[in-house]
Amino acid sequence: MENNEKIFLKEHEMNEYRVLQDKINQVIYSMGEVSVEKQILKEKEERVMDTFNKVRKDESNFLKKMERNYGSGIINSETGEFTKQD
């Protein structure tokens, strides 16, 4: 037969235990917050990448149009000058 003697913790021990339990709960809560924040950032990153890819496609289409209009060359983005290349 097992010894099932009940021993009650002293008040200061119980207080210390409760403080530790509270700290553990706070850490678990923080871990959940971090997980949610990571998901939000992942979704934001995906939206930004979609926008980036669209802008790159738009740029590529623009450069193809310029090549049809002016031939092969380089555009100076500061002056707007187009330099033809052979």
pLDDT, tens digit, 9 for 90 and up, residues 1-33: 577 899 999 999 999 999 999 999 999 999 999
Nearest to 75 by CA among 59, 54, 84, 53: 84
What is the average per-residue pLDDT within 65-84?
A: 93
Q: Which two tokens stand for residue 62?
A: 């623009």
pTM (predicted TM-score):
0.64
Q: Look at 61 and 86; give whichever has higher pLDDT.
A: 61
- Say if residues 73 and 83 touch (Cβ distance below 8 Å): yes
